[in-house]
Amino acid sequence: MTTATEQAGETPRTHYLNVNYGIRSWLLTTDHKRIGILYLISVTLFFALGGVMAVLIRLELATPQGDLFQADQYNRLFTMHGILMIFFFLIPSIPAVLGNFLVPIMIGARDLAFPRLNLLSWYIFNIGGLFTFWALLHGGVDTGWTFYTPYSSTYSGTHVIAVALGIFIAGFSSILTGLNFVVTIHRMRAPGLTWFRLPLFIWSMYATSLIFILGTPVLAVTLLLLGAERLFHIGIFDPAIGGDPLLFQHLFWFYSHPAVYIMVLPAMGVVSEIIPAFARKKIFGYRFIAYASVALAVLGFLVWGHHMFVAGQSIYAATVFSVLSMLVAVPSAVKVFNWTATLYKGSISWETPMLYVLGFIGLFTMGGLTGVMLATLGIDLHVHDTYFIVAHFHYIMVGGAIMGYLGGLHYWWPKITGKLYPKVWSRIAAVVVFIGFNVTFFPQFILGYLGMPRRYHSYPPEFQVLNVMSSAGATILGVGYVIPLIYFFWSMRYGKDAASNPWGAVGLEWETTSPPPTDNFETTPVVTSEPYHYTRPAEAPGVL
Amino acid sequence: MSSDAISLPAHQFDSLEQQREVASLGMWVFLATEIMFFGGLFAAYTIYRVSYPLAFIAASRQLDVTLGTLNTAVLILSSLTMALAVRGAQQGKRAPMLAFLPLTMILGAVFLGVKAFEYHHKWVEHLVPGAGFLLPGADARHAQMFFCLYFAMTGLHALHMIIGLGILTVMLAMAWRGRFTSTYHNPMEVSGLYWHFVDIVWIFLFPLLYLVGRHG
Amino acid sequence: MSVHVVPVRTYLLVFAALLLLTATTTSVAFVDLGPFNNFAALGIAGVKAALVVLYFMHVRYGTRITPLVLAASAFWLLLLIGLSLADYATRGWLGVPGK
């Protein structure tokens, strides 16, 4: 229970941030909260790197000619952009930053099941990043983040093995994080915390962890085989000895499609936490959202062939994957309907986290609907490898996943740091991000539909207007991302102290101090109520 | 009981019982990832065997069935000795661990020795994939694919065995120092699980690689 | 402590069974059973694996969740192999090049 002094906003004397100081206490920590912050630093650095690639890409594409970079250099740009953003930012972002911080607290535990493994995960992640960064400094890789053979296995002269190794190593970091989460959620819940009393963020972390555990190893072995073919001529994908390049694609996409659910499920979990808090209303259809999360994790493994409709797989397989891909839209839609129903007749407050998740719902829906379009064989045949695809996945990854990540950061920042950030600037930034995002990526749907192919540094002049719009939007989006960077840093020094429950939200994390003590709670909580038991707005916030 | 023995759970756990269950579940989840890791190779194998059945038969016959069967028996025996070592840990008895752990390691080393011998033979017989590959008869191309898979799968398996030997060395050191009791022996239990898993992978590898179309 | 200590006799019986099954699988491979050779090989391997899992790995005496983890991984592996085979097994059915 929070005390009166804590509700007044006084930081408690000892908490996990000030319990000890010095670089060793951070680099050798086993506290899941500190590890979450270590990940925050790492992924932000990788995001910045990937962002630089994006800036260069959009600069080049402002003119129809390939005048800023040669084709070969441009190939390296979009490849490194994809690799850095996907493997080193999006995939770890919410799970490793917010998940690490929140999972034990939300279930009333003192730490994760394997704290030292957690720290090892962070080191492994950075080692993988180091290999990739080394390759970047030496010219990067030009195969596309998809590494299709035989170009990647035989013909590319770039540092494929270094990057493949980097991703392979970083993959173990996610596997271990997923393992930690699954075991923790199964075995370390507080007394009274049954499965259907868990916060939906935990459900989404659990579902994401299933994908980490069951999908990532297949990518790992595929990259290993790629390296083996390049190094030892163990030509599993080599057509000269009967190998099938398509086998690489099957194995690659078996992981990489579920990977997009790794990126979006956690964001959905964030949305499920923030909507009830800022509508001051119990979530609508809790069990449906919980089941939908697991359904997404499972169904997400059944659709990978939709990335290969024009690659040469049999038409029958393509049809099967097409039907299954339509099916996978259903759980996502269920969630969108439930969130909307939660908002209905709620008492809405327009705090910054809410702005981000409202943006998420709209943009994710657009991205998802275009996904259903793409599942249709006839349409995909025309728009595959065009900017339609690029727009589709950026709507989900940036309009969806990143907005969810930012929303979550803004929601839990007071809990993590014990500080409040400036409300006006944070709202401005959210709006700037939303506008910048749409100006950047909506034109790309049109460009793709009109036939502009992806992964080319030059294009026919009739596409220039839309491309300039997109590049202008990218500038706005970039500004929108820099603003929170500035005020988050500012808040750590000059921000007002946060109360235990600054939002008046419901959840175990709000029942402990901001920041929490090292063992998260004074005494182990006992859970007796349903989740999201929000009271009417007239009563005082924080009263449960 | 040595003073090195652990009698309290780690700070995140409420009891030694919870810690034991967590350790076991953790290793099983890790084994699930290993199943998918090897699984990619099994998928590649299945697809190519279905595609090139005759080449696979011709290639598989180049492997020595006697050595393969022998090696399978060696690994199975090592699983027995491992299970007995873990049993000793469960009973808090030092002697069985100090007897059966080294036995397990020796058997593992024998397995690896036999594999090294087989690999060398393949090298001498020009059956290593690459420019020097040579198999008389029809479909040498696809037979090379078999050997790509053979080396990839048994190579990955051997790597896991080597790691297993490293793990058992650590277990032996800990057992020697009396770190295990009847109430705390999680590292032994999970090491056993790992070792048995590596055995199971071989149980599937053996027929798939050595026993293709042996009749006729 | 709820650690179940398996009797040595059980371990020895399982070991004997495993050796017997190994000998069987090798000898059966030299007998022409047509398509059943594959079933026999995989089936015997499956039984051996089951014995190791149940007794050496203590699953028979453990929690309910362990078989669940195993079943899930086996299911996912079959997914990978099965759906990939859906492509390979149906190539060329349409009689159109490349499909």
Give the total residue count for chain B: 216
Beta carbons of A317 and C90 less than 8 Å apart: yes
Average pLDDT, stretch A121-131?
A: 98
How many helices (DSSP H) and strands (DSSP E) are in chain A?
18, 0
Closest CA to A214 of C69, B65, B49: C69
Beta carbons of B207 and C57 less than 8 Å apart: no
Contacting residues of B for C14, CB less than 8 Å apart: 80
The alpha-carbon gap from A251 to the nearest alpha carbon of chain B, in Å, equals 7
Residue A400 · residue A329 · CB < 8 Å? no
Closest CA to B207 of B45, B94, B87, B90: B45
User: What is chain B's Cα-based Rg?
Assistant: 21
The C-alpha atoms of residue A214 and residue A405 are separated, in whole angstroms, by 24
The C-alpha atoms of residue C27 and residue C95 are separated, in whole angstroms, by 41
Nearest CA in chain B to C33: B215
Residue A256 · residue A300 · CB < 8 Å? no
Beta carbons of A232 and B130 less than 8 Å apart: yes
User: Would an 8 Å CB–CB cutoff place A315 in contact with chain C?
Assistant: yes
CA B57 to chain centre: 25
Interface test with C, best of A216, A314, A319, A327 (most C CBs within 10 A): A314
Give me the DSSP letters along A411-442. HHHHHHHSBPPPHHHHHHHHHHHHHHHHHHHH
Residue A233: its pLDDT value, please? 84
Residue B53: its pLDDT value, please? 92
Q: What is the pLDDT of residues B11-26, one digit of tens each?
A: 999 999 999 999 999 9
Q: Which two tokens stand for residue A22?
A: 């010095």
Residue A434 · residue A387 · CB < 8 Å? no
Average pLDDT, stretch A27-46?
A: 97
The C-alpha atoms of residue A508 and residue A15 are separated, in whole angstroms, by 17
Residue with tokens 């006006």: A424
Closest CA to B164 of B196, B206, B202, B205: B196
User: Would an 8 Å CB–CB cutoff place A443 in contact with chain B?
Assistant: no
Contacting residues of A for C86, CB less than 8 Å apart: 314, 316-317, 320
CB within 8 A of A315, min separation 6: which ones?
C90, C93, C94, C96, C99
User: Would an 8 Å CB–CB cutoff place A242 in contact with chain B?
Assistant: yes
The C-alpha atoms of residue B104 and residue B83 are separated, in whole angstroms, by 10
- State chain C's mean pLDDT as an integer: 91
Residue A198 · residue A531 · CB < 8 Å? yes
- State chain A's mean pLDDT as an integer: 94
Residue A403: its pLDDT value, please? 97
Beta carbons of C76 and A246 less than 8 Å apart: no
Q: In whole angstroms, how far apart are CA A7 and each of A414, A423, A491, A540?
A: 13, 20, 19, 12
Beta carbons of B129 and A232 less than 8 Å apart: yes
DSSP state of B63: S
Closest CA to B114 of B158, B150, B153, B177: B158
Beta carbons of B151 and A234 less than 8 Å apart: yes
Closest CA to A10 of A439, A418, A456: A418
CA A365 to chain centre: 16
Residue C2: its pLDDT value, please? 58
Residue A536: its pLDDT value, please? 58
Beta carbons of A241 and B144 less than 8 Å apart: yes
Closest CA to B209 of A51, A413, C25: C25
Contacting residues of A for B39, CB less than 8 Å apart: 217-218, 221
Residue B79: its pLDDT value, please? 97
Q: Say which of A104, A217, A228 has its CB closest to residue B152.
A: A228
Q: Which two tokens stand for residue A103?
A: 């999972």
pLDDT over 70 at C67, yes or no: yes
Residue A544: its pLDDT value, please? 38
Residue A381 · residue A390 · CB < 8 Å? no
Residue A537: its pLDDT value, please? 53
Q: What is the pLDDT of residues A48-82, one digit of tens each?
A: 999 999 999 999 999 999 999 999 999 999 999 99
Interface pTM, i.e. ipTM: 0.94
Closest CA to A105 of A25, A26, A15: A15
User: Would an 8 Å CB–CB cutoff place C65 in contact with chain B?
Assistant: yes
Cβ neighbours of A14 (radius 10 Å)? 12
pLDDT over 60 at B109, yes or no: yes
Q: What are phi and psi of A386, to 5 degrees?
A: -110, 180
DSSP state of A241: G
Which C positions 26-55 lie with beta carbon below 8 A of chain B?
26, 29-33, 37, 41-42, 44-45, 48-49, 52-53, 55
The C-alpha atoms of residue A119 and residue A123 are separated, in whole angstroms, by 7
Residue A206 · residue A182 · CB < 8 Å? yes
Q: Which two tokens stand for residue B127?
A: 């059956």
Give residue A4's identity as a one-letter amino acid code: A
Average pLDDT, stretch A384-408?
A: 97
Give the total residue count for chain A: 544
Beta carbons of B83 and C11 less than 8 Å apart: yes
Beta carbons of B29 and A251 less than 8 Å apart: no
Interchain CB contacts (distance < 8 Å): B and C: 137
The C-alpha atoms of residue A301 and residue A255 are separated, in whole angstroms, by 8
Beta carbons of A314 and C92 less than 8 Å apart: yes
Q: By three-state DSSP, how is residue A497 classified?
A: strand
Closest CA to B128 of B149, B100, B105, B107: B149
Task: Say which residue, A533 or A182, is predicted with more confidence.
Answer: A182
Residue C92: its pLDDT value, please? 81
Average pLDDT, stretch B61-77?
A: 96
Q: By three-state DSSP, how is residue A121 classified?
A: helix
Residue with tokens 């030092």: B94
The C-alpha atoms of residue B184 and residue B195 are separated, in whole angstroms, by 19
The C-alpha atoms of residue A403 and residue A434 are separated, in whole angstroms, by 9
Average pLDDT, stretch A392-419?
A: 97
Q: Say which of B37, B44, B152 has its CB closest to residue A217.
A: B37
The C-alpha atoms of residue B78 and residue C52 are separated, in whole angstroms, by 12
Contacting residues of A for B18, CB less than 8 Å apart: 187-188
Report the C-alpha dihedral over residues B90, B95, B97, B101, rounded to 10 degrees. -160
User: Would an 8 Å CB–CB cutoff place B53 in contact with chain A?
Assistant: no
Q: Say which of A251, A301, A320 has its CB closest to residue C86.
A: A320
First to last CA, chain C: 60
A217 preceded by cis ω (within 30°)? Answer: no
CA angle A18, A23, A24 (to 5 degrees): 95
pLDDT over 90 at B95, yes or no: yes
pLDDT over 80 at A453, yes or no: yes
Q: How confident is the model at residue A3 (pLDDT cuts 50, 70, 90)?
A: very low
The C-alpha atoms of residue A211 and residue A133 are separated, in whole angstroms, by 26
The C-alpha atoms of residue B126 and residue A336 are separated, in whole angstroms, by 60
Contacting residues of B for C19, CB less than 8 Å apart: 73, 76
Q: What are phi and psi of A453, to 5 degrees?
A: -75, 155
First to last CA, chain A: 10
Average pLDDT, stretch A18-39?
A: 96
Give me the percent of chain B exceeding a pLDDT of 70. Answer: 97
First to last CA, chain B: 61
Q: What are phi and psi of A278, to 5 degrees?
A: -105, 5
Contacting residues of C for A246, CB less than 8 Å apart: 87
Closest CA to B160 of B187, B123, B188, B195: B195
Beta carbons of A215 and B36 less than 8 Å apart: yes
The alpha-carbon gap from B48 to the nearest alpha carbon of chain A, in Å, equals 8
Q: What is the pLDDT of residues B143-177, one digit of tens each?
A: 999 999 999 999 999 999 999 999 999 999 999 99
Strand locations in A173-227 (E) = none
Q: What is the pLDDT of residues B167-215, one digit of tens each?
A: 999 999 999 999 999 899 999 999 999 999 999 999 999 999 999 988 8
Contacting residues of C for B211, CB less than 8 Å apart: 25-26, 29, 41
Residue with tokens 């790691």: B163
Q: In whole angstroms, how far apart are CA A229 and each of A155, A239, A244, A255, B129?
A: 11, 12, 13, 20, 10
Q: What is the pLDDT of residues A487-500, one digit of tens each?
A: 999 999 999 999 99
User: Would an 8 Å CB–CB cutoff place A538 in contact with chain C?
Assistant: no
Residue with tokens 């950026």: A394
Residue C44 · residue B207 · CB < 8 Å? yes
User: Would an 8 Å CB–CB cutoff place B142 in contact with chain A?
Assistant: yes
Burial of A116 (0-12, 13-18, 19+ CB in 10 A): exposed
User: Would an 8 Å CB–CB cutoff place A305 in contact with chain C?
Assistant: yes
Closest CA to A166 of A82, A228, A223: A223
Q: What is the 3-state secondary structure (H, E, C) of B172-216?
A: HHHHHCCCCCCCCCHHHHHHHHHHHHHHHHHHHHHHHHHCCCCCC
The C-alpha atoms of residue B90 and residue B1 are separated, in whole angstroms, by 14
Residue A2: its pLDDT value, please? 45
Average pLDDT, stretch C52-57?
A: 96
Beta carbons of B28 and C69 less than 8 Å apart: yes
Residue A4: its pLDDT value, please? 44
pLDDT over 60 at A524, yes or no: yes
The C-alpha atoms of residue A348 and residue A346 are separated, in whole angstroms, by 6
Residue A534: its pLDDT value, please? 86
Beta carbons of A186 and C76 less than 8 Å apart: no
pLDDT over 60 at A294, yes or no: yes
The alpha-carbon gap from A231 to the nearest alpha carbon of chain C, in Å, equals 26
Q: How confident is the model at residue C1 (pLDDT cuts 50, 70, 90)?
A: very low
Q: How confident is the model at residue A130 (pLDDT cuts 50, 70, 90)?
A: very high
Helices (H), ranges, A15-107: 23-27, 32-60, 71-85, 91-92, 100-106
Residue A46: its pLDDT value, please? 98
